Amino acid sequence: MKPRRISAIAAAGVLALSALFGISSAGPAAAASYTHLCVDRNGESLCAWANGSEQPVGVIYEPATGSSTTNWVHPATNGATGSISQANTSLCMQINHDGGNVVREAPCDGGTPELWTNKYVNGRTEFLSVWADNYYGGQWCLTWEDNLNGSEAYVDPCANYGAAYNGWGTS
């Protein structure tokens, strides 16, 4: 057998064993970790919930969803800026200014309506909207409120609410 053919067979064997044992190579997308995004309100976790493209991001009590709470990829270090995307999709949290500053999921395009800056505050993370900060001035945070459609994510001045609305974490 030729050396090239032996190498190809060996490589195929390694890939087959990797698949069998659940081992995969870590490409660029695999390097990003994902988490739930939840606020702690009176000891209960309310978590950001994906409703699909062009739909508002919901915020629901974690026990209502169990293990199916949406996973998100986001800027994870203090001062980092980037998009907040639903894990394993090309959908990002994006401000819908015309819709009353509600945060919706939309195809990621890298524009400022989908850019957020991580600000570490008292053990939690505030996500500052790059677009709203530029448009309105000041610091505008990813927050949530109850309305006729249930609880939805939107942006509002960070000073308007405390950690129960702005302080995101993994639970």
Residues sharing a CB contact under 8 Å with residue 78, sequence separation 6 or more, in sequence order: 118, 119, 120
116-129, pLDDT tens digit by residue? 999 998 888 899 99
Residue 11 lies in a domain: no
Which is higher by pLDDT, 65 or 27?
65
Domain that holds residue 125: 33-169
Residue 8 lies in a domain: no
3-state secondary structure (DSSP) of residue 82: strand
47-91, pLDDT tens digit by residue? 899 999 999 999 987 765 555 679 999 988 999 999 999 999 999
Number of domains observed in the structure of the chain = 1
**pTM: predicted TM-score of the whole model, two decimal places:** 0.75
Interatomic CA distance for residues 49 and 69, integer angstroms: 7
Q: Give the model's pLDDT for residue 32.
A: 55
